[in-house]
Chain A
Amino acid sequence: MQERLDALLSAARAELSVATDDAALEQWRVTHLGRRSEVTGLLRSVGSLPREERRAAGQAANAARRELEAAFETRQSELRRSADGAQVDVTMPGYPVRLGSLHPLTRTLREIRRVLAPLGFRAVSGPEVEWDRYNFELLNIPADHPARDMWDTFHVDDKARPGELLLRTHTSPVQARVMEQIQPPVRVIVPGKVYRYEDRSAKNEAEFMQVEGLAIDEHITMADLRGTLTHFVRMMFGPDRELRIRASYFPFTEPSAEADMSCHACGGKGCSVCGGTGWIEILGSGMVHPKVLADVGYDPDVYQGFAFGMGVERIAMLKYGVTDIRSFYRNDLRFLRQLR
């Protein structure tokens, strides 16, 4: 009996393996598992066997039947799977997922904050409409000083205090606002919108974002400024960036420095991004002028520190390869979705 069952199983398996459609499968099922199948016949015939053989024969026949059933199901699901596979076009696009986007300036500002936060810089904000006193005077730029020409200013019509309200031309007034309120140590960055009375063009905006940095304590040096800026450009633009600082002039810092980084596009060999020089001007900085410290009530013989300021659009333009600064304010969805 066991021999017959083995033969039957191997024949049935062979037949099953060549059944490739539903009809052949059904034919096989009728032949091997149907009422007239051999297994069914064998099971029926168990009753006619001698009593001592019945138990073993019955178990063997039932096991064979279960095996055939399992083989059938396996084959059936194999065929189903391959049939389904043919019906689904996996190249169909996914259903629309409506996820929005953060503006590239928001993303860039967050990155700047993330890079500087571990150095202890906390992000603070201040008013965009500002008094002349904070925007200029407390930064060592008195009225009628020729340095005022460095910032073309929008003035706000104000009958109560004429000539004093303006749109801040830089985020630097927040330096004075912070220092007036707390004693050193000070370590802040100030992101925010600034305004210049200047025609809009691909290179210049009348409204743009700046980030100001300020660190004041007893022993903060120009070397600390340089180290902070080097760390910053490497975190933002890659570990191979070199920093170059050179002498400059801002009324609220002394000494003053402009910082260039080696071009991230060509590595310093010279290309169209860096105008062939290998260097890209990235920000202005310096040691806070003793007069600025004294004017907010700090003792300039005790405290010193650095400040820097950069244009956020400029950083974003370099990072994303944007060539027209106005793109950031047009808010074209194609632009916003590309740079999200």
Chain B
Amino acid sequence: MRVPFEWLRELTGIEASVDDVATRLTNAGFEVGAIHRAGEHWDRVVVGEVARIDPHPNADRLNLPTVNTGSEEIQVVCGAWNFEVGDRIAFAPAGATLWDPYADEPVLKELKPTRIRGVVSRGMLCSTKELGISDDHEGILVLDADAPLGRPLAEALGGEVLEFELKANRPDALSVLGIAREAAALYGTKVRSPIPEARPNKDGSSESVVLGIEDAALCARYSAALVRDVQVGESPAWMRDRLEQAGVRPISTIVDATNYVMLELGQPLHAFNWDTVRGGFIGVRTAQPGERLVTLDGQDRELTPETLCIVDAEGPVALAGVMGGLDTEVTEKTSTVLLESATFDPISIRRTAHRLNLRSEASRRFEKGLPPELTVLALRRCVQVIEEIGAGRGEFLTADAYPAPSDPAPVSLAFDRIERLMGVAYDRSEVRQTLSALEFGLDEDGDELCVTPPFWRRDVTAPADVVEEVARLVGYERIPDTLPTGQVMDLAPGEIDERDDEVRDVMAGMGFAECVTYALTSEARMARLVPPDLLDVPPEAPLGDADAWAAMRETAMNDAGRTLTDRLLPLDREPLRLRNPLSTEENALRLTGLGTMLETLRANRRHADRDLLLFDYQPTFLARDGDLPEEPNFLTAVIGERVSASRWNETGTVELPFVRGVVDELLSRSGVPVAEASHDGLQHPTFAAGAAAAVTSKGRLLAAYGEVDAEVAAAFDLDERTWALLVDMPAVREASAGAPLFSAWSEYPSALRDLAIVVDAEVTQAEVQDSIQRAGRPLLQSARLFDEYRGEQIPAGKRSLAYALSYAAPDRTLTDKQADRAHNRVVRALQHRLGAELRG
């Protein structure tokens, strides 16, 4: 809300500077977001007079005013038409600095001579937006006829405006008077209320308006005042200036007066053309089926039954608190006006304004809940203002319906409660003085204080509210720094697992850069994780239909692939969708982070050709019927094709065992030793055939890794081999043996033997390793693969594997003979079980 400083001064008598007032109000909870100093940037803007208006030779929508600045005449090109020859206007010659009305954020811009459709413009007639006075950009600002020609605009218009960022709990502060009350309490001055005393009406006239409130819950009070001999025209300059400074566009006397009083007192008012209201009756009720109303904006609206309306004897004439009707609009021909000042139900107004997208200065005030006491005060003030500007003569109150009057309830507060909550003492006299300054009624009973809030402070309902009033007005500077004492907790439900930190540390230690990605994604992005020929993705089913997935499960996946699709890469599930997405690019919560990570890899590939190792460890969202979704932290890592090797000139190419090394390290550091995880071939459309594996332990899928299918990579604009790793960390935790246990090793020297064998190419390394381990018991300590060979030197269809074996006994040094015996058992087992031949 914008409050002209001079208006605030008028109501408070405060002498302090605008900066001081802004700081103290901010500290007391009325945050001043900005102080607009009209004229601050207007160093070269002057008052000019329109001397002539010529048509633009090349454009019908433009005109060519010539401006007299008192010392010269300058022709400009202009797109607005709301001025005439002889009008005084704000003129900015080339070189002046103005706000750019088209920029999203406020930007100052220097005005340069420009050629517009063939005519040179050497300046500009300014709108209030370009001058930074208001957001209104419709038409240029026409000044009073007596504005001093050629003088700087600041002299004609000056003044500071405080812009408040107000909180939702203080409807009373949405007014100059409300801010003035706070300021006066802070500075110890007295508010000069602009509200006149009541005065009697002329006999009999109050019977001419009949009011009917159908439901007091929806309209607590409805007050009305008749104004006769109405003169609709332009308001005087002082009023237009104040309205403009406060950000409200002046329209005409009656409307301006209602807006002025709304700004001043916080009560929205509406003016009906009484001549068009049928039956001398005004009622408040919800709409009946089929009722319609043409509103002020010209729209013919069908009213839903929950809409609160103002009706006359025949039907709706306005949407209560939201917008008036066109038929009862005040026009230049209007002679009698009925001023409405009412208290509507905040929730009803909020719903209607939201539903119709018609939020206004008025509806915003109603939504926050206004006090019924205010209606009659605002009417008096409005009638007084109308009379003062010569726009009519009225009654302060013609009719008033207030079915169920209520006063704010007193709150009782024990004095010691203040110190108990704040941690610092306040004297009783200070408490009393502070609350009195805010116009709270006080009644003391021993150690208890009974506080009655003024009618405009219905937000104060509990002792803590009163404590806040005292603390904020005295100032939070009073509060000292202490630290909480007492017991700490024994149990923290939902405590963050420190092993999550370790997962990140292990990944970073292995060369991966941690990414934090958006949880919002699109179904289309997730659908790209499957080659397009396998999945038809019509717009209505961006992740594909159930039949396509069922077919894919049958033909394009093995058991491991199906298990992967069940949870860790659940692309055939319904994702959680947003009802109000920002865009179709982020309309769902992710089922997997893989799509986003492939995009991240691609983005980084533009500036880096190697060592693209990235991981993300944030929740994914798996819907559960009627419950919150499961939010498991799945780890997603992606790896680009090339990685640095151990010299500058060497780059390694990532192969499957590279990724496996990462998996083994991560799992074993998470409590699942390499020996307890089994790696099996994975067939899944996201991964390249024959270059992916699934990791299980005790029958549960823990991880999947492999090369990303080339078509899928291409869908993410990646034309190189790309690798991915997905880990179900919650499953890993469950499979984990927990903290590692110490096991002793042999203190005696080991006997080392190398073993090179040739086996059929179908025999897996795991089978060979398993045979070695079984046959080597109990002396075999380890068997490390150090070579694999396929090629010319051995027969086709065969592969050679070479291992370094280490034997030791727990209680003695092995003799050569004992080691040989153990080793020969291993060799024989391999020959016998796997048909292996010794090589070399």
Stretch at the interface among A3-11, A24-32, A60-68, A244-252: A244-252
B626-641 vs A: 1/0 string, CB under 8 Å? 1011010000000000
Interchain pairs with CB closer than 8 A, number: 283
Which interface residue of A119, A220, A254 has the most chain B CB atoms within 10 A? A254
In the complex the two chains form, what is the Cα distance from A332 to B650 in whole Å?
Answer: 25
B424 at the interface (CB under 8 A from A): yes
Contact B350 A331 (CB under 8 A): no
Which chain B residue has the least Cβ–Cβ distance from A290?
A: B464
A105 at the interface (CB under 8 A from B): yes
Stretch at the interface among A45-53, A120-128, A265-273: A120-128
Partner of B167, one of A193, A206, A222, A248: A248
B729 at the interface (CB under 8 A from A): no
Contact A100 B423 (CB under 8 A): no
B509 CB contacts on chain A under 8 angstroms: 99-100
Within 8 A of A (CB), among B631-684: 631, 643-648
A223 at the interface (CB under 8 A from B): yes
> Known: A147-B168, A178-B494. Contact between A101 and B514, CB under 8 A?
yes
A189 vs chain B, min Cβ distance (A): 9
A320 at the interface (CB under 8 A from B): no
A212 vs chain B, min Cβ distance (A): 12
B468 at the interface (CB under 8 A from A): yes
B292 at the interface (CB under 8 A from A): no
A206 vs chain B, min Cβ distance (A): 6
In the complex the two chains form, what is the Cα distance from A206 to B518 in whole Å?
Answer: 9
Contact B516 A329 (CB under 8 A): yes
A228 at the interface (CB under 8 A from B): yes
A146 CB contacts on chain B under 8 angstroms: 168, 346, 350, 367-369
Contact B582 A197 (CB under 8 A): yes
Main secondary structure of the interface of A (DSSP, over half): mixed
Stretch at the interface among B45-53, B217-225, B600-608: B600-608
Partner of A223, one of B350, B482, B489, B582: B482
Kindly state the interface size class of chain A when it binds its partner: 35 or more
Contact A156 B577 (CB under 8 A): yes
B515 CB contacts on chain A under 8 angstroms: 103, 331, 336
> Known: A100-B509, A100-B510, A226-B481. Contact between A160 and B626, CB under 8 A?
yes
Stretch at the interface among A12-20, A80-88, A90-98: A90-98
B384 vs chain A, min Cβ distance (A): 30
B485 at the interface (CB under 8 A from A): yes
B9 vs chain A, min Cβ distance (A): 23
Which chain A residue has the least Cβ–Cβ distance from B367?
A: A146
In the complex the two chains form, what is the Cα distance from A197 to B501 in whole Å?
Answer: 30
B625 CB contacts on chain A under 8 angstroms: 160
B550 at the interface (CB under 8 A from A): no
B576 CB contacts on chain A under 8 angstroms: 129, 156-158, 165
> Known: A144-B347, A246-B29, A331-B516. Contact between A187 and B479, CB under 8 A?
no
In the complex the two chains form, what is the Cα distance from A26 to B629 in whole Å?
Answer: 84
In the complex the two chains form, what is the Cα distance from A207 to B481 in whole Å?
Answer: 33
A111-152 vs B: 1/0 string, CB under 8 Å? 000000001101111111111000000000000111101100
B518 CB contacts on chain A under 8 angstroms: 207, 329
Which chain A residue has the least Cβ–Cβ distance from B625?
A: A160
Other contacts beyond A102-B508, A223-B423, A245-B476: 9, CB < 8 A: A124-B494, A178-B494, A193-B619, A197-B580, A217-B487, A244-B476, A254-B464, A287-B464, A329-B516
Binding site for A on B (CB under 8 A): 26-29, 31, 167-170, 346-347, 350-351, 367-369, 420-424, 462-465, 467-468, 471-472, 476, 479-489, 491-496, 501, 504-505, 507-520, 576-582, 586, 589, 600, 603-604, 607-608, 611-614, 618-619, 621, 625-626, 628-629, 631, 643-648
